[in-house]
Amino acid sequence: MSFTPREFRNALGLFPTGVAVVTAVNAEGLKVGITVNSFTSVSLDPPLVSVNLSKHIASYNDLVNAGHFTINVLKKSQRQLSTQFAQAYSNKWENVAFYLNEYQAPVLECALATFECRHYSKFDAGDHAILVGQVLNFDVENEEMPLLFYKGGYHELPATNP
């Protein structure tokens, strides 16, 4: 390779993404979650979505082994949630409004969109794994703007006129 991992990461950062938090409950009954910007649709029939998870995060095994998980797409006013869930070994759930869905996976309240998933498959991808979930239920809030990540920082879409 003629480039460093940092150069590669910087190049990837030129692709603007949304920001989401993946949440689940582990085998011990503890809530886990991590901020991601690698959420994508996979299939409409069956309804499948995926996230890429670093194998180096503390909650990696908990998330890839969870039977159910939720992908919570954040809106621009939820930057603090993104930062909170991105920090390793912190009390990520402090002052977080959530509820457990019928599958016992945490759902963040007031997210832009939530996708409640059943574990469908997992694929090895170098230092990451691709976690695919079958969407069992979703909810959307159409009146808000998404939280965006670009060039290593948070951004917002400009306001639009109706």
Beta carbons of 36 and 21 less than 8 angstroms apart: yes
The pLDDT of residue 161 is 57
SS (H, E, C) the chain: CCCCHHHHHHHHCCCCEECEEEEEECCCCCEEEEEECCCEEEEECCEEEEEEEECCCCCHHHHHHCCEEEEEECEHHHHHHHHHHHCCCCCCCCCCCEEECCCCCEEECCCCEEEEEEEEEEEEECCEEEEEEEEEEEEECCCCCECEEECCEEECCCCCCC
Q: How confident is residue 162, by pLDDT bands cut at 50, 70 and 90?
A: low
Q: What is the pLDDT of residues 123-134, one digit of tens each?
A: 999 999 999 999
Whether 158 is covered by a domain: the verdict is: no
* Domain count for the chain: 1
* pLDDT for residue 50: 98
Strands 148-150 and 68-73: unpaired
In a domain, 132, yes or no: yes
Contacts of 88 (CB under 8 A, 6+ apart): 57, 58
In a domain, 54, yes or no: yes
pLDDT digits (tens, 9 = 90+) for 86-123: 998 778 999 999 999 999 999 999 999 999 999 999 99
Q: Residue 162: inside a domain, yes or no?
A: no
pLDDT at 59 over 60: yes
Asked if residue 160 belongs to a domain, the reply is no
- Domain with residue 82: its CATH number is 2.30.110.10
Residue 100, domain member (yes or no): yes
Structural domain boundaries enclosing 45? 5-152
pTM of the model: 0.92
Is-contact 114 108, C-beta < 8 A? yes
